Homo-oligomer: A and B are copies of this chain.
């Protein structure tokens, strides 16, 4: 029976100054979906592993299932698709867990169907899945998970994505402390109005970050990774955030901020050993506060999802 297995990566949204408009993909960790044709015209989830039993098997309540359902409807496909989902991405970590599942699912299904659509064309289905999962169709995780590298969301109406490949030496440390922040709360805590003078500082930094990435100017990337609007508020939800950030910067990271809506914290660097040191330094701050954490050290994923296995078996 034909089956397709696809890995889709974790993503870091916001990237300090780019709230809601910027994200990038990691090499690891990520989620893996195996898809094959199923009975009837249904989307079925046969199994989910790695989630500690927290996710339901109901395809309508899973971003991979929802994204595939939208794809099949769009194509007028009469065949059903059956998947297994291996989650290596922690839930609620701020690393784009729901987006990674949606992207892995829809890319696997599209491959199974003979690739009728391009990866760009698959993005709207993942946004429908994000909307079903968290109430808003934000693209800052799904788009980089699908396209790899950095992705700027220039605008939503219509969706206008700008892919910016990461410069070669850029690497990332992500620390996921085992505390819970609900995306909803992380959004509620934000003020609806901000000071114009802060917005001006922020857009200087966004311009600088985009220019730095495109020029491969690591100094400029670091100087631009400053968020004067969201981080000062959201960091209140992460115990020890300032010390964690300080530790990363003192270890030579270019910049450090909250990944998505947290609680994960990421640091970017242009030297693998420095970024490993930054990761360990961040972890030891959390340890000192008796907070367990997972540390991921990863290059930037410039390819997006990858086929893990694609073949025929009985």
Binary contact track A189-220/B, C-beta < 8 Å → 1, others 0: 01111111101111111111111101100001
A155 within 8 A of B: yes
> With A and B bound together, what is the CA distance between A224 and B201 in angstroms?
19
Chain B residues whose CB sits within 8 angstroms of the CB of A220 once the complex forms: 154, 160, 162
Task: Tell me the residues in window 156-208 of chain A with beta carbons closer than 8 Å to chain B beta carbons.
Answer: 160, 162, 164, 190-197, 199-208
- Which chain A residues have a beta carbon within 8 Å of chain B's beta carbons? 17-22, 152-155, 160, 162, 164, 190-197, 199-212, 214-215, 220, 223-224, 229
> With A and B bound together, what is the CA distance between A206 and B207 in angstroms?
6
> Which partner residue on chain B sits nearest A163 by CB separation?
B211
> Which partner residue on chain B sits nearest A154 by CB separation?
B208
> With A and B bound together, what is the CA distance between A191 and B200 in angstroms?
13
> With A and B bound together, what is the CA distance between A220 and B153 in angstroms?
12
Closest 6 CB pairs of A and B: A154-B208, A21-B204, A193-B193, A210-B210, A152-B207, A199-B199
Chain B residues whose CB sits within 8 angstroms of the CB of A202 once the complex forms: 199, 203
> Do residues B204 and A152 form an inter-chain contact, with CB atoms below 8 A?
yes
> Do residues B162 and A229 form an inter-chain contact, with CB atoms below 8 A?
no
> Do residues B229 and A199 form an inter-chain contact, with CB atoms below 8 A?
yes
> Which partner residue on chain B sits nearest A224 by CB separation?
B154
Chain B residues whose CB sits within 8 angstroms of the CB of A155 once the complex forms: 201, 204-205, 208, 223
Most central of A22, A192, A208, A223 by chain B CB within 10 Å: A208
Chain B residues whose CB sits within 8 angstroms of the CB of A195 once the complex forms: 192-194
Give how many copies assemble into the complex: 2
> Do residues B19 and A211 form an inter-chain contact, with CB atoms below 8 A?
no
> Do residues A153 and B18 form an inter-chain contact, with CB atoms below 8 A?
no
> With A and B bound together, what is the CA distance between A210 and B204 in angstroms?
11
> Which partner residue on chain B sits nearest A215 by CB separation?
B214
> Do residues B199 and A160 form an inter-chain contact, with CB atoms below 8 A?
no
Chain B residues whose CB sits within 8 angstroms of the CB of A19 once the complex forms: 200, 203
Q: Which of B18, B160, B204 contacts A154 (CB 8 A)?
A: B204
A154 smallest CB distance to B (angstroms): 4
> With A and B bound together, what is the CA distance between A20 and B196 in angstroms?
11
18 extra interface residue pairs, beta carbon distance < 8 Å, beyond A160-B220, A199-B203: A18-B203, A22-B207, A154-B211, A154-B223, A154-B224, A155-B204, A155-B205, A162-B207, A162-B212, A192-B197, A194-B194, A194-B195, A196-B229, A202-B203, A210-B214, A211-B214, A214-B214, A214-B215
> Do residues A21 and B211 form an inter-chain contact, with CB atoms below 8 A?
no
> With A and B bound together, what is the CA distance between A207 and B162 in angstroms?
9
Chain B residues whose CB sits within 8 angstroms of the CB of A18 once the complex forms: 203, 207
> Which partner residue on chain B sits nearest A204 by CB separation?
B21
Q: Identify 5 residue pairs between A and B in the complex whose beta-carbon atoms are under 8 Å apart, listed by A's number.
A: A152-B208, A154-B204, A154-B220, A162-B207, A196-B229
> Do residues B203 and A21 form an inter-chain contact, with CB atoms below 8 A?
yes
> Which partner residue on chain B sits nearest A197 by CB separation?
B192
A255 smallest CB distance to B (angstroms): 13
